[in-house]
Amino acid sequence: MVDPVRAIVLETVVRAAPREVWRAWTTPEGVRSFLAPECRIEMVPGGAYEMLFDPSAEPGSRGGEGNRVMAFQEGRMLSFSWNAPPSLPEVRRQRTHVTLRFLPEPGGCCRVVLVHDGWGDGGEWDEAYAYFLRAWGEIVLPRLAALYGGRPEPGE
């Protein structure tokens, strides 16, 4: 049976205020500090949200090219389209969706909730899903937490 609500849902808590973590995702300086060496961000609905993981590669192979800001609430929520790596061309031609929420936590911390949806089933879709489950959960969110000194300990 096909999962009607197939989504990657992950979260982390970081030692920074929501507005500070928001800036890490929405400014070139912030993105370069933990996510990608280059980017193109236009914080307007429909504006560019391109993460260039290999800026010197040929166009179409640089990373998250052609992605767009879908919606945002300043300091609280960001939603953007996302594409698969060039090694998965069938899925790369299409777009999935990522929504981030930045929620205040005690001690001036921020809970970041990431939801990545819009997945098909089978073949390259399953490969892309597994790729991003690992990428978001084992690379991107840990790097974000490390940027602010790691995850706070429970009760901190």
Ordered by start, the domain boundaries in the chain are 7-147
CATH architecture of 7-147: 2-Layer Sandwich (3.30)
Q: If 0-12 CB within 10 Å is exposed, 13-18 middle and 19+ buried, where does residue 140 land? A: buried
- What is the tens place of the pLDDT at every residue in 78-99? 999 999 999 999 999 999 999 9
CA separation for the pair 12, 37 (Å, rounded): 22
User: What pTM does this model have?
Assistant: 0.93
- What is the tens place of the pLDDT at every residue in 18-58? 999 999 999 999 999 999 999 999 999 999 999 999 999 89
